[in-house]
Structure 1
């Protein structure tokens, strides 16, 4: 079970983030990274180098954060802004420190960035995922162009 019940985490005094709705050929869990693929979305790969969207929970169908969007569904991708918080999906056995630089793995999940990788998000909390399942970790968008030295 997820630690949080929403992907967009605020601030609550702002409107929801800007979103794009597109078809995605793969099954996608909320909180994972999406990239543009022509007129559609695709699951982001390792150290995604293009604009990244965060897959929103399917609240329109009253689904939770652990319910995947089905393949070939119209998925909602949120555009992260610097001042907004998101709960992003990290795989099991991932130890995240507050302030850690996060990038994507081959499954579009967020992992700690290593030397030479693009930083996409910055962790806003510490969490050691020993739960045996993917978990959501609070993060915010990194400044553009940051690469781990």
Structure 2
């Protein structure tokens, strides 16, 4: 069970994140990173260098953050904006420190960025995921052209 029940985390003064809708070319969990490929959403790859969207929970179908979107569904990808916060999926065994630079792994989940990798997001909280399952961690957009030196 995820730590949070929503992917978009605010602020409350901005009630609607900027989104893009597209057909999903696979079954994906909310909180993972997706990119546009041939007009559809595809799972972001390791160290993704394309524009990344965060897959929103399917609240329109009354689904939770642990309910995967099905392949062929029209998914909602939220654009990472500077002033907004998102809860993203971090795999088990990843120890995230506050202000840690995060990139994507081959499953579109967020992991610690290492030297030379593209930074997609920055952690807003510290969380050591020893839960045995993916967990949601609060992040914000990384500065433009961020990379770990």
TM-score exceeds 0.5 = yes
TM-score by length of 1: 0.99
Cα deviation, residue 72, structure 1:
1.3
In structure 2, C-alpha distance between the alignment counterparts of 1:93 and 1:59, rounded to whole Å = 28
Establish whether residue 125 from structure 1 lines up as the match of residue 117 from structure 2. Answer: no
Q: Secondary structure at the match of 1:60?
A: helix
- Residue 31 (structure 2) aligns with: 31
Structure 1 runs (4+) deviating above 2 angstroms are none
Establish whether residue 21 from structure 1 lines up as the match of residue 21 from structure 2. Answer: yes
- Residue 10 (structure 1) aligns with: 10
- Residue 44 (structure 1) aligns with: 44
Establish whether residue 114 from structure 1 lines up as the match of residue 114 from structure 2. Answer: yes
- Residue 55 (structure 2) aligns with: 55
Alignment deviations for residues 4-55 of structure 1 (CA, whole Å, 9 cap, x no partner)? 0000000001131111110111111000000010211100000100100000
Establish whether residue 91 from structure 1 lines up as the match of residue 74 from structure 2. Answer: no
TM-score by length of 2: 0.99
Unmatched segments (≥5 aa) in structure 2: none
Which has the higher mean CA deviation after the structures are superposed, 50-59 or 16-25? 16-25
Unmatched segments (≥5 aa) in structure 1: none
- Residue 69 (structure 2) aligns with: 69
User: What do you get for the CA RMSD once the two structures are aligned?
Assistant: 0.5
Cα deviation, residue 121, structure 1:
0.2
Number of aligned residue pairs: 149
In structure 2, C-alpha distance between the alignment counterparts of 1:100 and 1:139, rounded to whole Å = 9
In structure 2, C-alpha distance between the alignment counterparts of 1:24 and 1:77, rounded to whole Å = 10
In structure 2, C-alpha distance between the alignment counterparts of 1:79 and 1:15, rounded to whole Å = 14
